[in-house]
Amino acid sequence: MRQFFNWKTSLSLIAMLFVVTSLSYTNQLAHRLAKEEKKKVEQLAFSIKTLTTATNNEEISFAQTFVSQNNTIPLIITDDKERISDYKNIDIKGVPNVKNYLKKQLQLFKEMHEPIVAEYDGGKTYVFYGESNLLYQLKLFPYVQMTIIFLFLILVIVSLTAANRSMQNRVWVGLSKETAHQLGTPLSSLEAWIELLKESECSPETVIEMQKDIDRLKLVADRFSKVGSEPQLLQENVVARVREMVDYMQKRAPKKVLFHLKIQEEDVETLLSGPLFDWVLENLMRNALDALEGKGNIFINVTNHPDIIWIDVKDDGKGIQKHLLNKIFRPGFSTKKRGWGLGLSLSKRIIEKYHHGSLFVKQSELGKGTTFRIVLRR
């Protein structure tokens, strides 16, 4: 359950609580205001009745004053046959046909409220009324507030996510550069020991193999040093790079693991940072080896298109669970007992940030294997 209750979920729940509370309170206020307006209309209807039946000048004056004071609630006064005799607080400026407009307003008021009836000796007067601007705005306010809160919530989440990602990037870049720096001293020492071994009676083959391992360590240090800085991209043959890495990994893979390279043409060129691109291929192939657990096949397909190049690394291993597919590129995430969970994260960074391409899981099925796809855009 913890994967669903993170800080984003907490923020969303708090925002929802604010919205629900505000909506409930505002609805209560709107309901109370609607009651008050209904009372005013009832008093208005009584005043209209007074104006019709009263003979006392003071009563007539009081009723006229009350009628004139209503400048907020829109209303239409009709007889018992719904013939409009008067209206108030309805804006008719610029209306070409006032009569039709009032009829439409009357129909709208009928749907909103039951009319207030004022009875007197000569008949009945019906007062149809709508909502004041204040009541309308009060009902609308929670939805405006909800929109503002959600927009603010999205802004906060995006900002915090970007800040968190930036902090992670700085940590990994710093870690990579420190690793390269730490490797520098023992590599220099090993270089000196190799020179001494060359002058001694040590087996030349041993010295050659040791030199290869040192060159490999120097390459690893060079890769780490390039993380965080803009690498130089050169026009290179992708197929040659892939073939070289396949040969390198095949020699170091278990005997029961076979690599299969499928290409359409030998010469497929694009801009690459060779050492970093090799690192990506090596990471993907090592992940495939881990998934095979000592036995199986790894298929590497290079597909050339006019504008893009696809490099697929496929294994027939154990596959990846669906709920982990969105996490495998996160820094620090790993399904292995050992490891820092940096390989796929750095690989994605190298392809997307430095080579302006994309790296993703094309397909994965438990028990049948996984396919990673690199897309390089020319």
Q: pLDDT for 129-166, tens place per residue?
A: 887 777 777 777 777 877 887 788 788 778 877 777 77
pLDDT computed for residue 364 by the predictor: 93
Which residues have CB under 8 Å from 300's CB, separation 6+? 242, 246, 259, 260, 261, 262, 285, 311, 312, 313, 314
Whole-number Cα distances in Å, 263 to 268, 292, 303:
10, 23, 7
pLDDT computed for residue 1 by the predictor: 45
pLDDT computed for residue 66 by the predictor: 53
Q: Is the pLDDT of residue 67 over 60?
A: no
Q: Is the pLDDT of residue 51 over 60?
A: no
- pLDDT single digits (tens) 26-41: 778 877 877 877 777 7
pLDDT computed for residue 3 by the predictor: 44
Domain covering 230-377, topology: Heat Shock Protein 90 (3.30.565)
pLDDT computed for residue 13 by the predictor: 77
Q: Is the pLDDT of residue 47 over 60?
A: yes
**Amino acid at position 185, single letter:** T
Count other Cβ atoms within 10 Å, centred on residue 129: 26
Q: Is the pLDDT of residue 279 over 70?
A: yes
- The token duo for 249 is 């990994």
6 three-class SS: coil
Q: Please give the share of the chain, as a percent, with pLDDT higher than 70.
A: 82
Mean pLDDT of 321-329: 85
Q: Is the pLDDT of residue 2 over 60?
A: no
Q: Is the pLDDT of residue 63 over 80?
A: no
Count other Cβ atoms within 10 Å, centred on residue 344: 22
Q: How confident is the model at residue 301 (pLDDT cuts 50, 70, 90)?
A: very high
Selection from 61-70, 201-210, 368-377 with the highest mean pLDDT: 368-377
Give yes or no for a contact between 211 and 240, defined as CB atoms under 8 angstroms apart: no
List the alpha helices (DSSP H) in the chain: 7-53, 57-69, 98-112, 133-199, 204-226, 238-252, 274-292, 343-349
Q: How confident is the model at residue 19 (pLDDT cuts 50, 70, 90)?
A: confident
Q: Please give the share of the chain, as a percent, with pLDDT higher than 90.
A: 23
pLDDT computed for residue 162 by the predictor: 79
304 three-class SS: strand
Mean pLDDT of 212-216: 79
Mean pLDDT of 292-317: 94
pLDDT computed for residue 357 by the predictor: 95
In degrees, rounded to 5, the angle at the alpha carbon of residue 13 between the alpha carbons of residues 12 and 18 is 95
CA-to-CA distance for 168 and 277, rounded, in angstroms? 22
Q: Is the pLDDT of residue 80 over 50?
A: yes
What is the DSSP annotation of 219-280?
Answer: HHHHHHHHTTS-PPPEEEEHHHHHHHHHHHHHHHS-TTEEEEEEES-S--EEEE-HHHHHHH
Burial class (CB in 10 A: 0-12, 13-18, 19+), 75: buried
Mean pLDDT of 197-206: 79
Q: Is the pLDDT of residue 341 over 80?
A: no
- The token duo for 24 is 């409930």
- Selected residue with higher pLDDT from 69 and 273: 273
Tell me the domain boundaries of the chain. Answer: 7-131, 137-208, 230-377
Q: How confident is the model at residue 309 (pLDDT cuts 50, 70, 90)?
A: very high
Q: Is the pLDDT of residue 174 over 60?
A: yes
Q: Is the pLDDT of residue 48 over 80?
A: no
- pLDDT single digits (tens) 238-268: 999 999 999 989 988 899 999 999 998 889 9
Mean pLDDT of 163-184: 71
pTM over 0.85: no
